[in-house]
Structure 1
Amino acid sequence: MRNMAVYQKIIKHEFPSIDLELLDYVSGVLDGGEEFNNVDDVYEAIGGVLHEVNLDKDEDCIRTICRKLYKTLQLNGGENQQNAILLDAPVQLSEQGLEDESTNDDKSIWMATRENVSQVNKKKLEKAEAKLKAKQERRLLQPDQPVKQNGMVSASASQAVSRKDVKAEAAGTSRATDIRIENFDIAFGEKVLLKEASFTLAFGRRYGLVGRNGAGKSTLLKMIASRELQFQSHISILHVEQEVIGDDTLAIDSVLECDELRTKLLKDEKELHMKIHDSSGCTDPSLGAKLSDVYAKLAEIEADKAPSRAAMILNGLGFSSNMQSQTTKEFSGGWRMRIALARALFSKPDLLLLDEPTNMLDIKAILWLENYLQDWPTTLLIVSHDKKFLNEVATDMIHQHSKRLDAYKGNYEQFFKTKTEKHKNQQREYEAQMQFRAHVQTFIDRFRYNANRAALVQSKIKQLEKLPKLIPVEKESEVILRFPAELQKLSPPILQLDEVSFSYGPDVPIFGSVDLSANMESRICIVGENGSGKTTLLKILLGEFNPVAGIRHCHRNLRIGYFSQHHIDTMKFDKNAIEVMASRFPGKQIEQYRQQLGSFGVTGDLATRPVSSLSGGQKSRVVFALMCAGNPNFFILDEPTNHLDIETVEALGKALSSFKGGVILVSHDESLIRVVCKELWVCGEGSVRAMEGGLDEYKKMVEKEFEQQR
């Protein structure tokens, strides 16, 4: 009861009609030994109760009152505490009254009790007490305690939402199409991914989200899709993350079914037809009216055009007419992901979230998707490592780094230029500030003991003290991948296919009469549509598949390093990267495993964390470390850029260019192909042939096919 009367006097002044029991409760919270570190703590403890007392007072007004109370807390708890009045006996405030402020008697702190005391709202009081109890319990918990689901560490989010937005959402009056998500934190276990971050997505704009592997880009998309980050509930969201479940539904029907309104209207139409036909001449007049209404609504949404639109989207993503009539269970995971993407493009949600959409597509499908998304009518947020794709699609960029989000206007190329110039300016400003401070400090050191300059020295010292804290410019470390450098020279040819043919049975021929030769200087990229036999060709080169006809020649000292997304999928997720290395290459010291992993950026705690907690790009780096542990002199890489960030893709291109062995690469990433490859081989139409003119000629061929299809 040290200072309750003081707090009550302030509260009573602001809320003259407050219930006495509620007044006791609020002042008791402030005087009850609770630790309040700032105004926000006071607001969190009693702000909600004060809002309920007087709904006319807005949030800013309540915070001003809390600020007065916090200052009083500091005064009464600090150096002036000795001035507090010590009472001889406890005083029951319910039996006393606070003194009216209109009197001039400063010696008494009591007022007369009002005759008409309103009844306290017990529910409000219980709600306030529960809120305070929850706050106290949260303080007892360990900070950064990992959130777990099914025994696995998962991400968690916290957000401060303004009362104004909450009221608008509760009233259902918000019809804004722009998405604004403010003041939120995201953590993955003990690792903080974003802190006090905010961003806005303007309706109709297309945003590219970029950042280093492990920064939390995919986690951010999941938090938005699950609405763990709060924003307008009327905004529809679709996150293309999981493949369509394989069942007996046809691919074309799976896409059409995602239009729920059309599906419901067609169902209603069918049911009404059945009722009319079953009425045996005694037709209910209302049935005809209902059927006419259904027809009108179907015409309004252009339901008759839906099948052709769905077929066009599936065709653009690589589905032939026959494939569109196959059931979803007949497709592999990659093709079912394409169906999921087709469903998203068909349904046109208010916010479409795409996480590495080009991973599942060949070059032809990527070019189609680029053209399609350029006319996307709603808001789009894309995570991608493909610079060419972002340049063609994005109108804005969001850079996730250093636990924050920075927004930029323009596509990836414009973003990179702006960011580079911004960092240069920041560095120049930092260096100028350092130089100025050093100059002032030199003056102080020189004349510190000069009596004639004492006043000037003091002035300079105060000048330094008033300068803002100088923070160095944060630079992201350069990504470096270290492939084996010392290789045994092998005389050509080291890997060769002579008149090779392959089929999965008499009815499934893949290709025939393939002649392919590679040596230590080879830089070959294999392209083609999905299903044309690219991965099958790699399996033959590796010796995993035997050709139906023809011969595979291989140098006896050839050591092939093979990268495949399948290797990522088969890693034991409960083990860490060091344990994975030890299981594949036993008998070495832990430092040797660490050194190998460190060559590919898997350093520090990344090497000791369970593989399940690593991002897709970090898992890919572990696979690179495993691939190179056997000191290979030839690389065969199947889509190595999937899940890598842009900086790592660039580092991969540099590393492959300087590698002294041969390289055969299957990739759809245009920037990597242009940096690395000198030869282009095209799979398709039952053959594998060299493409004169390289990637540019291949793209012209694909674009010509687009024009013919239109």
Structure 2
Amino acid sequence: MSLLQIRALGVTLSAVLFSDLNLTLSAGDRIGLVAANGRGKSTLLKCIAGQTEPTSGSITRARGLTIGHMEQHLPAALAQHTFRDAILDALPAEQRDSESWRAEVTLEELEVPEELRGRRLDALSGGWQRITLIARMRVCDPDVLLLDEPTNHLDLSKIARLESWLAGLPRDMPVIISSHDRAFLDAVTNRTLFLRSERSMMFAMPYSRARASLDEADAAQARQFDREMKTAQQLRQQAAKLNNIGINSGSDLLVVKTKQLKARAERIETAAKPSHQERSAGAIRLANRGTHAKVLVTLDDVPVETPDGVLLFRTGRKFIGQGDRIVLLGLNGTGKTRLVRLLRQAILSDDGVSQAIKATPSLVLGYGDQAVSDLVDEETPHETLIRRFDVGDQRTRTLLSGAGLSIERQGRPIAQLSGGQKARLSMLALRLAQPNFYLLDEPTNHLDIEGQEALERELTGKEASCLFVSHDRSFVRAVANRFWLIERRRLIEVDGPEDFFAEAAQAL
């Protein structure tokens, strides 16, 4: 049964985001919406929700259809609300007293701990604020759910909680999910829409299978285009030969034949459709300076503690060698980020060592975290590179353009850039530092799928040495070749991540 019909929909802002989009939303559809950063995913969801008018086309909704829309960011006006009050606030004013039970049902449905329900949102983690947005969307019991980047800031246990919640919804409830989390899309969707400026593509399968089909379709389109262009070229060559013969012989028939061949070539060229070329959101490239040292970092039973001195775990004796790509696994609160910070402090200390952490003298650190703390909000991207690296004005502008920052954006304060733009700027700064060891905390948090895959290729292709923390299961599987797990206050090495992923999914 069709609940919503999209016909020839298009939106143009400074550029065409998408055009001629046709989509039918039926009961039971779980659609993954995929596109690069800034390519119209959020705009499409707002159009469906009735919050934004499209440039062209139409959206027809079934009579009485209600739509719940979870946007990406927590409204500033809600920051001082408690978790419970923020959900009540989503109900129509006339229902808040008589149907306050809906908020309690939603809190139970999403398994929000009792101790968090009365806390102010500005005192909660980004992950719990995300759950708040989902709860606000759900409390009004809409017919259709629209989720915009629902896994942002969620750890693995909360992602598993979200997957479980979606699986528990009525089977006929349609959901559209915009996300860059490939494993999440595979787990919760049954259709995938690749949103494009022209010829968006829909596949009746989850992301990974749909992506393989998309790549095949694009490759087939490219081959078809090449064949048609070759045919047109051959027709033009034949026309040129006949034209010369016709001129020399004075044959009117050959002149007519020449015009016919040229006309056929023009028709083929006009009708031929080149394969899709995705506009890059900006290149991601890394460097690997290299070193002769086989062991880069030694950890000699390092105690990892909370700021007030409570022991979280001890590392035992561990080594990080050249070519190691180590992922640090552990549930939230076990001390992953604390260890990353300890390593950074020890490596950057004046003598390059601490009592329990020793780095080879030739180690050059490249550090990046999910808060892109290496960037200064008040600076412009141009000022950041000029201050930190000896690259010159013109080279700086070229590098920034290659990272997806236009000349106009290069002069804006970094605070005004999107999360994806900040992430690409941070990666550019990492590249220019020419490190031989990367320390990365949630490096894919603001990257679209194109950016995630580019970072994977750079780390593996350049045989970079790194230690990283990530909740992105696809990224972990693609990059890591060693696996350290924090368990029972010890750091142990395990064979792979899958047992931990299963444990995190059960830690609801």
TM-score band by shorter chain is: 0.7 to 0.9
After TM superposition, the structure 1 = structure 2 runs for residues 387-406 of structure 1, keeping only pairs within 5 Å, are 387-402=182-197, 405-406=200-201
User: Contact conserved, 1:398 with 1:408, CA < 8 A, in 2?
Assistant: yes
Alignment CA distance shift 1:661-1:438 (3 Å): closer
**Is residue 308 of structure 2 the alignment partner of residue 505 of structure 1?**
yes
Q: 1:243 aligns with which of 51, 64, 74?
A: 74
Partner residue in 2 for 1:535: 337
Partner residue in 2 for 1:583: 387
In structure 1, what is the Cα distance between the partners aligned to 2:44 and 2:357?
A: 47
> Which consecutive unaligned segments of at least 5 residues does structure 2 have?
none
Q: CA deviation at 1:563?
A: 0.9
Q: Displaced runs of 4+ in structure 1, greater than 6 A?
A: none
Alignment CA distance shift 1:192-1:184 (3 Å): closer
Q: CA deviation at 1:424?
A: 2.8
**Is residue 152 of structure 2 the alignment partner of residue 350 of structure 1?**
no
Partner residue in 2 for 1:416: 211
**Is residue 356 of structure 2 the alignment partner of residue 551 of structure 1?**
yes
Partner residue in 2 for 1:475: 277
**1:446 corresponds to which letter in structure 2?**
K
User: Contact conserved, 1:564 with 1:640, CA < 8 A, in 2?
Assistant: yes
Q: 2:410 aligns with which of 608, 633, 646?
A: 608
**Is residue 118 of structure 2 the alignment partner of residue 313 of structure 1?**
no
Partner residue in 2 for 1:109: none
Q: CA deviation at 1:623?
A: 0.6
In structure 1, what is the Cα distance between the partners aligned to 2:374 and 2:124?
A: 18
Once the two structures are superposed, residues 523-559 of structure 1 have per-residue CA deviations (whole angstroms, 9 ceiling, x without a partner) of 211122333322222111111899xx98333334432
Alignment CA distance shift 1:428-1:441 (3 Å): same
Partner residue in 1 for 2:290: 487
User: Contact conserved, 1:572 with 1:580, CA < 8 A, in 2?
Assistant: no
Q: CA deviation at 1:638?
A: 0.9
Q: State, as a whole percentage, how many aligned pairs show the same letter.
A: 25
User: Contact conserved, 1:313 with 1:346, CA < 8 A, in 2?
Assistant: no
**Is residue 428 of structure 2 the alignment partner of residue 428 of structure 1?**
no
In structure 1, what is the Cα distance between the partners aligned to 2:179 and 2:473?
A: 13
SS at match of 1:537: helix
**1:496 corresponds to which letter in structure 2?**
L
Once the two structures are superposed, residues 368-419 of structure 1 have per-residue CA deviations (whole angstroms, 9 ceiling, x without a partner) of 3223223444332222122221112122222122356333322112322322
Name the larger-Rg structure: 1
In structure 1, what is the Cα distance between the partners aligned to 2:157 and 2:187?
A: 15
**2:430 corresponds to which letter in structure 1?**
M
Q: TM-score, normalised by structure 2?
A: 0.81
Partner residue in 2 for 1:379: 174
User: Contact conserved, 2:365 with 2:435, CA < 8 A, in 1?
Assistant: yes
Partner residue in 1 for 2:128: 335
Alignment CA distance shift 1:613-1:566 (3 Å): closer
Partner residue in 2 for 1:216: 40
Q: CA deviation at 1:606?
A: 7.4
Once the two structures are superposed, residues 112-167 of structure 1 have per-residue CA deviations (whole angstroms, 9 ceiling, x without a partner) of xxxxxxxxxxxxxxxxxxxxxxxxxxxxxxxxxxxxxxxxxxxxxxxxxxxxxxxx
Partner residue in 2 for 1:264: 97
**1:216 corresponds to which letter in structure 2?**
G
Q: TM-score, normalised by structure 1?
A: 0.60
Task: Choose between structure 1 and 2 for higher RCO, CA contacts under 8 A separated by at least 6 residues.
Answer: 2
SS at match of 1:475: coil
Once the two structures are superposed, residues 496-544 of structure 1 have per-residue CA deviations (whole angstroms, 9 ceiling, x without a partner) of 25241412326xx350333343232322111223333222221111118
Once the two structures are superposed, residues 478-507 of structure 1 have per-residue CA deviations (whole angstroms, 9 ceiling, x without a partner) of 88633223323335252425241412326x
User: Contact conserved, 2:7 with 2:23, CA < 8 A, in 1?
Assistant: yes
In structure 2, what is the Cα distance between the partners aligned to 1:372 and 1:396?
A: 19
Alignment CA distance shift 1:682-1:461 (3 Å): closer
In structure 2, what is the Cα distance between the partners aligned to 1:266 and 1:346?
A: 10
User: Contact conserved, 1:256 with 1:307, CA < 8 A, in 2?
Assistant: no
In structure 1, what is the Cα distance between the partners aligned to 2:299 and 2:279?
A: 40
In structure 2, what is the Cα distance between the partners aligned to 1:550 and 1:179?
A: 65
Partner residue in 2 for 1:369: 162
After TM superposition, the structure 1 = structure 2 runs for residues 56-205 of structure 1, keeping only pairs within 5 Å, are 177-180=3-6, 182-187=8-13, 190-195=14-19, 197-205=21-29
Q: CA deviation at 1:579?
A: 2.7
In structure 1, what is the Cα distance between the partners aligned to 2:115 and 2:363?
A: 42
**1:356 corresponds to which letter in structure 2?**
E
**1:540 corresponds to which letter in structure 2?**
L
Q: CA deviation at 1:675?
A: 1.8
Partner residue in 1 for 2:239: 444
User: Contact conserved, 1:681 with 1:688, CA < 8 A, in 2?
Assistant: no
Alignment CA distance shift 1:314-1:376 (3 Å): same
User: Contact conserved, 1:210 with 1:399, CA < 8 A, in 2?
Assistant: yes
Q: CA deviation at 1:672?
A: 1.3
**2:368 corresponds to which letter in structure 1?**
F
SS at match of 1:338: helix
In structure 2, what is the Cα distance between the partners aligned to 1:491 and 1:696?
A: 29
**2:96 corresponds to which letter in structure 1?**
T
**1:247 corresponds to which letter in structure 2?**
Q
Between the two proteins, the alignment pairs up a number of residues equal to 481
**2:230 corresponds to which letter in structure 1?**
Q
In structure 2, what is the Cα distance between the partners aligned to 1:329 and 1:614?
A: 22
Once the two structures are superposed, residues 463-485 of structure 1 have per-residue CA deviations (whole angstroms, 9 ceiling, x without a partner) of 44554603432333788633223
SS at match of 1:265: coil
